[in-house]
Structure 1
Amino acid sequence: MVSEICLGTMTFGGNDPMSAAFGQLDDNSSSQLVNEALNAGVNFFDTANVYGVGASEEILGRALKGKRHDAVIATKVRFRMGPGPNQVGLSRAQIIQQAEDSLKRLGTDYIDLYQIHGPDPFTDWEETLRALDELIRSGKVRYIGCSNLQGWQIMKANGIATQLSTHAFHTNQSYYSLAGRDIEREIIPVVQDQKMGLLVWSPLAGGFLTGKYTRNNQGGADDRRMKLDFPPIDREKAYDVIDVLRDIAKARETSIAKIALAWVLNQPAVTSVIIGAKRLDQLQDNLGAVGVILTEEELSRLDQVSRLQPEYPLWNPVMYTQDRFPVQG
């Protein structure tokens, strides 16, 4: 069982150019966030070997020292971890080596959820799945998951796992927010069909849905979006979303970020929402989203302003069910 909120640790360490754009928190600041999360009932923590090139895992491991059994730790493997030609990807050698390295950095003898951080077009799924299965059978990993895959890739991997009699992916981690609902097309239907948990990253669209960005104020030089404009969004549509969020937040006397997070938490397929923070007040505000129950009217307003345009073959999904029933009268 995991908490509705998962504390993401991409802000921990940040000693490489990519991670530095998200945060460079030291041990003390990171431990404060971890302790605040634990005290609020959060038991789920997400990291990756590539965050800070191992620094995030190290800092999280130290912050959870003596509290390991109170936490569910998720980490990932896929991206480059060294200059060598084989220090990247999802080969058996890379998965086994990186799992061992993550265990050492985290200061633990098991990983609760080990996720592939994305697809590897140069490695067969059979090799990847057998390596992950070996980690589970050895007791070093409890469950496996995937992240940033397309719907067909999830289905293909799970189908091959069935053929091989190996463990299949139990979770999928994807980007999902009011500014980016793309996973509703295929990924959410796959996750629900396969009875997988859905973990959401960047529920505030890289900070864009916090309320500090407006049509007249697009951020200063030190803002994260100015350093790394990620994930990509349709800004004009996102500004329309923010307008509705602001109205709802004002009426409720709360923050825009809290309403944006509450919308994600209200989505039926979502298992846990990964939040990142650099300060205690940010974390505390985000944690408050769990107690926000949006009304049907509020959900409808947010849906209307953010919904996807239907694409083929989803123009009219009702047509595939309505002809099953006799016409009345």
Structure 2
Amino acid sequence: MLSRPRRNRQSSAIRALVRERELTPGHLVQPIFLLPDPHARLPVVSLPGTFRLGIEEVVQEVAGCLALGIRSFIMFPAVPEQHKDKTGSYATSPDNFYLHAATRLKTEFPEICLISDVALDPYSTDGHDGLVLNGRIDNDQTLPLIGAMAVAQARAGFDVIGPSEMMDGRVASIRRALDAEGFTDTAIMSYTAKYASAFYGPFRDALDSAPRQLEGVPTDKKTYQMDPANRREALREAALDAAEGADYLMVKPAINYLDIIRELHDAHTLPIAAYHVSGECAMLLAAAERGWLDYRRAASEALLSIRRAGASVIISYFAKDFAGWYHE
């Protein structure tokens, strides 16, 4: 037999020589759920091992991640109900604990990459990513609100702005707003292909950000998030975001949409990010807790599959654990 692929699998050294994709902690982004109480540490019951943290706990978490080689973080605010209103005005308030936390983190750890979240749902009494007017999510009236939010976040110290609300024209609107205020070096990681997925449950538990029951208003996000059946639509969204000035294109979720990650990787020269979402991680954790899967092997394989599909940036709740295994 002239050709034997197994010859290149005979030892760990040989396998390392021919490995097509490498996954390192430098590719990973650790999510952070932020609470206003500075010393809070509350578990997310539906996502074991993940916590909602106050800023003092976040500082310790970031220091621990840096020691493992994780240098990038994406932060989400769990906003108390008394700060929520129709237009999400607390998002730009000088008293916003989320903005103060960003400034603190960038002061103490200037070397990190800190990524924001831009959407109304953490701040809105309606629980939708866009502004609800007359029973519908109003795309164009949302744009100035998220533009102002992005500027406030850039001013607080965020390195990368993450618009997740899936409004049409959002990237161009945010880019104009940032540039007008002098934040020309602040990047945009657009949630380009964010699907109306069943796998966001633990995330919404952590932030209490699910859509509210309102008369005449959808209780899901299908009118602005993408249909899981669609592939070509993701290419259209990516082309629009790239033309509007996005610096990264994101696919969310990741595992169920590896084909979309590959499509965007092949079609664009921009870095592709993938969000390994809460439900995808919780599903694997539940199987591991029952002894059906080996957590370390399964989590590592899941992350590697996302990298192999073409993602340069992987946001995952497994980031810190993987980094620990990597250094072993």
TM more than 0.5:
yes
The 8 Å contact of residues 44 and 73 in structure 1, kept in 2 or not, is answered as yes
Cα distance per residue 1:48-103 (max 9 Å; x no partner): 4x5446655543542332322x0212112123323488488763311222123434
The residue number in structure 2 matching 1:95 is: 146
1:47 is paired with a residue of what secondary structure? strand
Shift of 1:135: 3.4
Cα distance per residue 1:17-42 (max 9 Å; x no partner): xx965632222322111011122222
Selected match of 1:145 from 189, 199, 215: 189
Aligned CA RMSD, in angstroms, stands at 3.8
Amino acid at match of 2:27: E
The 8 Å contact of residues 79 and 117 in structure 1, kept in 2 or not, is answered as no
The residue number in structure 1 matching 2:176 is: 134
Cα distance per residue 1:209-233 (max 9 Å; x no partner): 236645xx4xxxxxxxxxxxxxxxx
Contiguous gaps of at least 5 residues in structure 1: 218-241, 250-254, 293-329
Alignment: residue pair count:
231
Structure 1 residues 100 and 144, CA gap change in structure 2 (3 angstroms) = closer
d(CA) in 1 for partners of 2:246, 2:53? 35
Structure 1 residues 161 and 269, CA gap change in structure 2 (3 angstroms) = closer
Structure 1 residues 60 and 206, CA gap change in structure 2 (3 angstroms) = farther
Does residue 201 (structure 1) correspond to residue 248 (structure 2)? The answer is: no
Contiguous gaps of at least 5 residues in structure 2: 1-24, 38-42, 81-95, 196-225
d(CA) in 1 for partners of 2:307, 2:275? 15
TM-score, normalization: structure 1?
0.56
Does residue 13 (structure 1) correspond to residue 35 (structure 2)? The answer is: yes
Shift of 1:112: 2.5
Greater relative CO (CA pairs within 8 A, separation 6+): 2
The 8 Å contact of residues 118 and 146 in structure 1, kept in 2 or not, is answered as no
TM-score, normalization: structure 2?
0.56
2:173 is paired with a residue of what secondary structure? helix
d(CA) in 1 for partners of 2:277, 2:304? 9
Shift of 1:134: 0.7
d(CA) in 2 for partners of 1:189, 1:51? 34
2:162 is paired with a residue of what secondary structure? strand
Selected match of 2:70 from 35, 42, 48: 42
The 8 Å contact of residues 171 and 244 in structure 2, kept in 1 or not, is answered as yes
The residue number in structure 1 matching 2:219 is: none
The residue number in structure 1 matching 2:236 is: 156
